[in-house]
Structure 1
Amino acid sequence: MAWNEPGNGPRDPWNSKRPSNNGNGLDDVFQRLRARLGKHGGPGGIITIVLALVLAWLLLSSYTIVDARQAGVVLRFGQYSRTLPPGFHFKLPQPVETVTKVETTRVRSLQDSVRMLTRDENIITIDFTVQYQVNDARAYLFAVDDVENTIAAASEAAVRSVIGRNDMDTILSGEGAALVSEAGQALQKTLDSYHCGLQVTAVSFQNVAPPAEVKDAFDDVNKAREDKQSIENNALAYANKVVPVARGDASRIAAEAAGYKAERIARAQGDAERFSLLLKQYKAAPEVTRKRLWLETMEQVMAGNRKVIDGSNGRTIINLPPTTPASPAAATVTTDDASDKGNQP
């Protein structure tokens, strides 16, 4: 039978006495709620429910708990009102006041790898890490739109400014700590100018190396630099060993020369003094002085040579040794000649 066919059965859509689907309709729900809230029911029960829900919502949104690692920023109708320290706090319910919690003790980090140009126009690749914390929750939320991109750009700019002021040799040498400190100071100065409420805690360079395309050439340069330093160190060690010895020898030779000089001067002065005295005696008694000088000379000559005396019946002959490189010329002196020469002045 079609839906519009007349009839008296339960399928008749025009039958006002149609069953209520076993009491599971929306009216039954409202009836049960009215029965629980009051005997009279009516619109007052619904209002009571709404008031109860509103009161519960007001009570639950009138306080907030800020964790020890956080700071709470309170907005009143969307405008900044105050910053809450850690703890339990009362506030006006939403939507009058809302609280945004910001972690201030968590250390955030940023890593990046960029290619930069040094002062001597060399390209270098640097992997750096920046660690930072929030020291002003209000500025962190409202000073800049995108904190991550802001600190990334500021970090790259700070590192580029430091690298661009130094040569490749300085960057690759042992002055990396000074460059890292300089980059951290430059980054903090930039963030302070943005008033973004961030505090830089650490900046580090993980890898400082030339690009892979020219790495072999730079390795050769570094090897040559190390060889140069090694040769210079060896030369310095050799100089430290040889120079003191040479200085000692020079001092010894200078001392010997000074002694020899003093000796020669003293000897010359003595000879001059002796000659002056001898000249004075010669002027006083020439004959006696000549004879004395001859005798002293013969005494010196004869004292240094071997003598042979013939005791036979003939003239006594004194044979002097033959000539040698270390001895004077050989001579034969007879006693007669000696006596004759003794009579000469």
Structure 2
Amino acid sequence: MPWISDGGGGGSWKPSGPWGQKPSSPQQPDFEDLLRRGQERIKSWMPGSGGGFTGGRGILALALIGIGVWLLSGFYTVAPSEVGLNKIFGRYTGKTGPGLNYNLPFPIGEVEKLPVTTRSTINVGFTYRPDMRTSVDLPEESLMLTGDENIADVKFVVIWQIDPVRPEDYAFNIANQKETVKAVAESAMREVIGRSQIQRILTAERKVIEPAVQELMQRILNQYKAGVLVLQVQLQSVDPPEQVIAAFRDVTAAQQDQNRMRNEAEAYANRVVPEARGKAAATIQEAEGYRLQTVAEATGQAARFDKIYDEYKKAPGVTRERMYLETMERVFGGMDKVIVDQDGDRSGVVPYLPLSALTGKATEGAHK
């Protein structure tokens, strides 16, 4: 800063303004002086400056500032789809939810963030090329042995996610989590396929296999404490091996024809059997009616005979006569007849044989 003399010959120096004028009152702060003082104080804090105790305090201040910055670096944020896992010296201490959280920074503390709402897929039996347009078969994964000792080519997809309730199990209990889930999926599918027959796998049991594999996978992963939720198992294709697929198609067609013929036979049986049963029931009812009628008639005749016998015992002659007359009435009631009294006078009656009438009847019978 410039200085000027206020009088002659070695007078005292007084401060003035930058253009040789005296500073006005009140006096303004001297920024250059303040800057110089600050530089000197910083130098006194630095080691080797000869400041003694003042240098030690500087090191302590720098250390405190560094510790403060290090502690502040422990703040972190967790996204809504994530869960944070806090670790101290590599040991799990707790989990944090979405938002701003704190844990001791590295190297003492560490935070691992897991996407617990993200759904992942695993393909078993096939994989996609890098262009994601074409797939490549993996027969070492897809070929499986069935319960009836046939081979089935099974390709399927597993949809899973990290369990949001136990994400620490996923992070710390198993290594190579995706490979573990895929191995469990393949093992569960082989077990279910090994209990089934090839024809049922190819036709009716496809919708039964999916939930069975999902349930078995979840049970195995729970035993591992893997922290994984199996959301769905989707069968992409279930076919016989390529070498014998034509023969299996012929067998399938033959089975369809067998089922069709069986259905037709069952329909015919359902139509004929009721008709036969109806006819049998009608015949039984007719026989039952005839039986009841015959028994009733026989019972009536027996009762009538008993009554006649009772009357016969009372007057045998009269009863015989009456029975004889009733019999003759039934026999000759519908016939042409001439009655001749043999005990009376027969002078006016000439017996003759009507040959012409008999001859005519015999001739008509011959012509017939």
- Per the normalisation by structure 1, the TM-score is 0.69
Give the Cα–Cα distance (whole angstroms) in 2 for the partners of residues 145 and 291 of structure 1. Answer: 124
Does residue 270 of structure 1 match 2:300? yes
Q: 1:207 aligns with which of 230, 234, 237?
A: 237
Give the Cα–Cα distance (whole angstroms) in 1 for the partners of residues 350 and 65 of structure 2. Answer: 168
Instruction: State the match for 2:118 in structure 1.
Output: 106
Give the Cα–Cα distance (whole angstroms) in 2 for the partners of residues 36 and 227 of structure 1. Answer: 107
Q: Provide the aligned C-alpha RMSD in A.
A: 3.8
Give the Cα–Cα distance (whole angstroms) in 2 for the partners of residues 238 and 283 of structure 1. Answer: 67
1:57-77, Cα deviation, whole Å (9 max, x unpaired) = 536622011111101122223
Instruction: State the match for 1:299 in structure 2.
Output: 329
Q: Alpha carbons of 1:286 and 1:98: their partners in 2 closer, same or farther (altered >3 Å)? A: closer
Residue 267 of structure 1 and its aligned partner are, at CA, apart by 1.8
Instruction: State the match for 2:205 in structure 1.
Output: 175
Does residue 116 of structure 1 match 2:128? no
Uncovered stretches (5+) of structure 2, i.e. residues with no partner = 1-34, 47-57, 126-141, 340-347, 363-368
Q: Alpha carbons of 1:259 and 1:225: their partners in 2 closer, same or farther (altered >3 Å)? A: same
Give the Cα–Cα distance (whole angstroms) in 2 for the partners of residues 43 and 268 of structure 1. Answer: 149
Instruction: State the match for 1:137 in structure 2.
Output: 167
Instruction: State the match for 1:157 in structure 2.
Output: 187
1:178-231, Cα deviation, whole Å (9 max, x unpaired) = 332222222122222322221212122222221122222222222232333333
Residue 93 of structure 1 and its aligned partner are, at CA, apart by 3.0
Uncovered stretches (5+) of structure 1, i.e. residues with no partner = 1-34, 324-345
Instruction: State the match for 2:75 in structure 1.
Output: 63
Instruction: State the match for 2:85 in structure 1.
Output: 73
Give the Cα–Cα distance (whole angstroms) in 1 for the partners of residues 69 and 224 of structure 2. Answer: 39
Q: How many residue pairs get matched?
A: 284
Instruction: State the match for 2:156 in structure 1.
Output: 128
Instruction: State the match for 2:274 in structure 1.
Output: 244
Instruction: State the match for 1:225 in structure 2.
Output: 255
Instruction: State the match for 1:235 in structure 2.
Output: 265
State whether residues 83 and 115 of structure 2, in contact with CA within 8 Å, keep that contact through their aligned partners in structure 1: yes
Residue 43 of structure 1 and its aligned partner are, at CA, apart by 10
- Per the normalisation by structure 2, the TM-score is 0.65
Give the Cα–Cα distance (whole angstroms) in 2 for the partners of residues 244 and 95 of structure 1. Answer: 88
State whether residues 85 and 112 of structure 2, in contact with CA within 8 Å, keep that contact through their aligned partners in structure 1: yes
Q: 2:103 aligns with which of 86, 91, 100?
A: 91
Give the Cα–Cα distance (whole angstroms) in 1 for the partners of residues 233 and 192 of structure 2. Answer: 13
Give the Cα–Cα distance (whole angstroms) in 1 for the partners of residues 37 and 330 of structure 2. Answer: 159
Instruction: State the match for 1:197 in structure 2.
Output: 227
